[in-house]
Amino acid sequence: MAEAIHVEGLSKIFNGTVRAVDDISFFVTQGEAFGFLGPNGAGKTTTVSLLTAQLAPTAGRAVVDGIDVFRDPAEIKRRIGLVFQESTADSDLTGRENLELAAALFGVPRGEVRQRVDSLLERMQIGDAADRLARTYSGGMRRRLELGVGIIHSPRVLFLDEPTLGLDPQGRAGFWRYVQELRKEHGMTVFVTTHYLDEVDLICDRLAIIDHGKIVATGTSSELKDRLGGDVVTIRTERSDPAMEEALRAVPGVLSVSSQDGAYRIKAPRGEQLIPALVTACGQAGVALTSVSLKRPSLDEVFLEFTGHEYREDGMTPTDRAVRVSQVSQAFGRTRR
């Protein structure tokens, strides 16, 4: 499969000291949804800014949709779509005007603008509010409008920087539904940064975990979970029996067995495949089962394993907020209200 994004040794050091992005390398294949997961200050927004040619790197190379990002930034901006972490819709324009402005900025042919704007308004379910000022929109409506702005020119690669920050679960689910539909229809590649571990599990084909500017792990969420030593099958029985532990340990594929008060915790890479053999082993040991359950490790545990610290959701410091606002203003070349 062709690569939509190829990154090699990319670094960004701010003010000669802050290593926001520290020698990262990865690729994303065409049509893939790739998640970039990390806590506050990990370097996610900086990576997006680099890959979308908003920011010059300190070192390294990036190719997006076959174009060298740092040699041909203008072409990159034409080919990609971007939905920023912070709200970027112009509050003093209507939803329709926001989309028309974006169409003009991205060079959508004049004859197509009307049809595209109408169809996106419909699609994002803001048709009824199309001619209202964006300042009157709810958070969910604004995010859908901004997604519309990000894709008005049918980009080949869509960058989403924490697009669902601040949305309620319903708003988040709705947003992802649109993104998934777009992927299906246009085979669009999606690069998404997020704090929400569950979103990564749901949306992304593969992911990278970034911490302190460095990628600490890459793979599918399942692969990363497997590297933790796999699943835990818990078998509960009516009484504890010393023969049980032996019988369970003898089942091929079992990594370890521990027991407490008649409950047996069995670690195995593919727990679901082992359940029939485990149940048979219990039967042969003559022990009656009361329940069997399977637990896959969560991405929180994956994060802890690869970074050595818990996945925190810290608040933003005032400095981070100031940096964020300036990133957005730069990206859109106008002052935010």
Ligand X SMILES: Nc1ncnc2c1ncn2[C@@H]1O[C@H](COP(=O)(O)OP(=O)(O)OP(=O)(O)O)[C@@H](O)[C@H]1O
String of contacts with ligand X for each residue 35-54, x by CB under 6 A: ---x-xxxxxxx--------
- Beta carbon nearer to Mg ion, 44 or 156: 44
Q: Which amino acid is at 315?
A: G
Residues 6+ apart with CB under 8 A from 267: 229, 230, 231, 232, 254, 255, 256, 257
User: Measured from the CB of residue 161, what is the shortest distance to Mg ion in angstroms?
Assistant: 6
User: Measured from the CB of residue 167, what is the shortest distance to ligand X in angstroms?
Assistant: 15
Residue 166 has φ and ψ, to the nearest 5°, of 85, -5
User: Measured from the CB of residue 226, what is the shortest distance to ligand X in angstroms?
Assistant: 26
- Beta carbon nearer to Mg ion, 165 or 275: 165
And the tokens for 243? 């023969």
- Beta carbon nearer to ligand X, 30 or 306: 306
How far from the centroid of its chain's Cα atoms is residue 263's Cα?
A: 36
Residues contacting ligand X: total by CB under 6 A:
16
> Which is nearest to 191 in space by CA: 11, 23, 32?
32
* Pairing of the two strands 189-194 and 214-219: unpaired
User: Measured from the CB of residue 241, what is the shortest distance to ligand X in angstroms?
Assistant: 50
- Beta carbon nearer to ligand X, 5 or 42: 42
14 near ligand X (CB under 6 A): yes
Angle of helix 44-51 relative to helix 318-332, nearest 10 degrees, comes to 10
Residue 323 contacts which entry, Mg ion, ligand X, none (Cβ below 5-8 A, type-dependent) = ligand X
String of contacts with ligand X for each residue 262-301, x by CB under 6 A: ----------------------------------------
164 near Mg ion (CB under 5 A): no
Own/partner pairs, 141-146, CB within 8 angstroms, 24+ separation: 141/95, 142/87, 142/89, 143/83, 143/87, 143/167, 143/171, 143/175, 144/174, 144/175, 144/178, 145/89, 145/95, 145/98, 145/99, 146/83, 146/84, 146/87, 146/88, 146/89
57 near ligand X (CB under 6 A): no
Residue 163 contacts which entry, ligand X, Mg ion, none (Cβ below 5-8 A, type-dependent) = none
Helix (H) or strand (E) holding 257: strand 256-260
Contact with ligand X (CB under 6 A): which of 4, 7, 10, 20?
20
45 near Mg ion (CB under 5 A): yes
Residues interacting with ligand X, by CB under 6 A?
Answer: 14-15, 18, 20, 38, 40-46, 85, 316, 320, 323
Query: For binding to Mg ion (CB under 5 A), which residues are involved?
Result: 44-45
